[in-house]
Amino acid sequence: MDFTKLFSLEGKIALITGGSRGIGKMLLEGFLAAGCEKVYITARKREQLAETEAEFNAAYPGKVIGLAGDLSQRDDLAALVKELSSRESRLDVLVNNAGAAWGAEFGQFPEAGWDKVMDLNVKSLFFLTQALFPLLKAAGTFDRPAKVINIASIDGLRPNPWETYSYQASKAAVVHLTKRLAARLIKDNIVCTAIAPGAYPSEMNKAAAKNPEGSARGIPYKRVGVAEDIAGGAIYLASRAGDYVVGTTIPIDGGIVNAWIPEDFNDPSGH
């Protein structure tokens, strides 16, 4: 066993959607550190995309390529696939990270807040994976499978107190869709898995960004996540180390899903 190669991404070509900020940017940093040959990132905002591209190319010249577009729009999705296909003959790792959230009280929750979130978080994830299937298939072999890593959420594994109905439903859908995709894609040497992040500072999780100490009170580990936490999990799944993990969703959340007991919990058994 060669440990130096077990978690290496050397020579791999990856695409991270929503890669210019938040968790996507954390994954970009990790993939580059793990040796990726090239990492393509997508974002809707060209300026933000260019800033991230320039920031990381200073340390990793020519290894980060930004492709602008709104993946919830089929024309933009098709343009992205066309551009990537014109540049590469294979894609070793696809990270479906781009996502949206919407919060509103039950009685006022709008259809727009449902459609926007479902379209990006579930529909676009499926159709981008479908469209990139030829590149993924070209990369995958029995001994070196290609990888699809879907970024779900702990909100897809258990309900949270906030009224983010479409977001929680969409992430639960991603967890189950990952299983179904995995069953199909493994036939072509493509391993599909998912990560369910907990609280990480980002524009989507403003509470963790603006008040990390407050967020930490509800986390068994008593801190919010940092780049090494989420990137480490993704590198594991994307590398040789994760080849035999198929269809699984891994919570990387400091114990919220599997180790949290409310401090005011009263055990009816008296223990």
Active site residues: 167
The sign of the torsion formed by the CA atoms of 159, 257, 93, 42 equals positive
- What is the maximum alpha-carbon separation in the chain? 66
For residue 226, the tally of other CB atoms under 10 A from its CB is 12
DSSP secondary structure letters along 230-270: HHHHHHHHHSGGGTT--S-EEEESTTTTTS---TT---TT-
DSSP secondary structure letters along 3-14: HHHHT--TT-EE
Helices 46-57 + 22-33 axis angle, to 10 = 20
Give SS3 for 144. coil
Whole-angstrom Cα distance, residue 77 to residue 80?
5
Nearest-10 Cα torsion for 84, 89, 92, 96: 20
256 in Cβ contact with 156 (< 8 Å): no
